[in-house]
Amino acid sequence: MLKQERADFIRARLESLYPETPIPLDHGDPYTLLVAVLLSAQCTDVRVNKVTPALFDLADTPQTMAKVSVPAIQEIVRPCGLAPRKAKAIRDLSEILVREHGGEVPVDMEALEALPGVGHKTASVVMAQAFGVPAFPVDTHIHRLAQRWGLTKGKNVVQTEADLKKVFSRESWNKLHLQIIFYGREYCSARGCDGTVCEICQTCYPNRKNPVATKKS
C-alpha cells in the first residue's frame, strides 16, 4: 500500500469501529475541559475523572478557582501526579482568564498556549473538543501508532502532527484523533502490539516480520 492508501483504509476502518467518539474526560464546559486536559498529562483519563468531581465541587469557574489556594487545589489533584506544578498552573491560568479574557477560555491557539501549563497538545484538544475547531492533537500514543502504520517518519509529535494533517482531510481531524486513541487502547497498545499483531498493522504491512521501535527525538 502507498501511504495515502494506508491512510484511507485506516480512516474507513476506524470509522466502522468507532462511529461515535465521546470525549473521554468528563467536563461541563470549555473551562472544566481545559483543567481536565491539563491534569491528564502523564495520567490516565480514568484517574482524572475520579479527581475532577471533587475539584469542580470546590470551584468550576475561573472566577472561583482563582480564589482557591494552591495547596487546597494540590491536595485534591495529588492522585494525578505532578500535583504542585499542576495545582499552580490551574490557579495561575484561572487568574489570567479572569484578568485578560473576561473569565472565558479563548478560542485561539496562541492565547491558549500562552496559559500556564498549557502546551500545544492541550490547546489543540480544547480547540477541537470544546470549540469544534479542526485540530489534530498528537500525544505519544498517536505518535507511536502513526509510525507503526507508516504515516510518518517523524521523531517527534510536531512532525507527526504535520504528516497526519497531510494525509487526512481537515474535516476528519477532530474525530480521527479520538478514534486513533480508542483503537490504540483496545488493539494497538505499547505492550499489546509491536507493529505486527493488530488488524491495522497486519493489513498495512502484511509482510512485516520485525517489531517497530518508536523513533523519538
CB 76 within 8 A of CB 47: no
Cβ 159 vs Cβ 166: under 8 Å = no
Q: What is the CATH number of domain 30-131?
A: 1.10.340.30
Contacts (Cβ under 8 Å, ≥6 apart) of 97 = 31, 62, 66, 103, 104, 105, 115
**In CATH, which of 1.10.1670.10, 1.10.599.10, 1.10.3720.10, 1.20.120.530 is domain 3-20+136-204?**
1.10.1670.10
Mean pLDDT over 83-90 rounds to: 98
User: Which are the catalytic amino acids?
Assistant: 121, 139
3-state secondary structure of 98: helix
Residue 137, phi then psi, degrees to nearest 5: -60, 125
User: Residues 113-170: pLDDT tens digits?
Assistant: 999 999 999 999 999 999 999 999 999 899 999 999 999 998 899 999 999 999 999 9
Instruction: Write down the domain spans for the chain.
Output: 3-20+136-204, 30-131
User: What is the model's pLDDT at position 217?
Assistant: 61
